Amino acid sequence: MVRVRKMDEADIEAVSMIRVRGWQAAYAGIVPRAYLDAMTVEGDAGQRRQSFAQPGRKSQDLVALGDRGPVGWICFGPYRGGMPGPGRVGEVYALYISPDLIGQGIGRTLLGEAHTQMKDQGFETSALWVLCDNRRARRFYERAGYRADGAAQDDVYDGITLTELHYRRVL
């Protein structure tokens, strides 16, 4: 069983570990190995400290706490692109779970809390981007009520172009 709370500065190292290990596990065979191998917890934590300290930051971060401290992290806030439809739209920017704990409901718990907070803040819809080839994540979001809306964008990782699909759901 986990509990969810707002992330604080003391969680940065643990969140960076979750994010880097999460990328390396979830995107193996999708994102070029050299790109994944170049990711470091220290580098991620440095970037996270800078963004975490920005005044007026609109994103919100939650952590799932297990018996070993943070075991999952979600970041969400206002939609960052042009408005993808009517109403106020929130966006899930990132969701990562310690790879050894995937499948235990931690992601579902974090996503549910993010949905509750977005709705409480007046958002009517939640949107997110997911790599087309990340079938596990796509199934996860589809089970949570998200549907691909036909929008796509390309990202380049070490010279390899990967397509992300846009998903959304009503809150």
Sign of CA dihedral 76, 3, 23, 166: negative
Query: CA 59 to CA 47: how far, in whole Å?
Result: 14
SS3 call for 149: strand
Q: Tens of pLDDT along the chain (171 residues)?
A: 899 999 999 999 999 999 999 999 999 999 999 999 999 999 999 999 999 888 889 999 999 999 989 999 999 999 987 655 556 999 999 999 999 999 999 999 999 999 999 999 999 999 999 999 999 999 999 999 999 999 999 999 999 999 999 999 999
Q: What predicted TM-score, i.e. pTM, was given to this entire model?
A: 0.93
SS3 call for 25: helix
Give the pLDDT confidence score for residue 81 in this predicted structure: 78
Domains and CATH numbers, the chain: 3-170 (3.40.630.30)
**Torsion angle of alpha carbons 116, 126, 80, 113, nearest 10°?**
30
Residue labelled with tokens 């966006």: 91
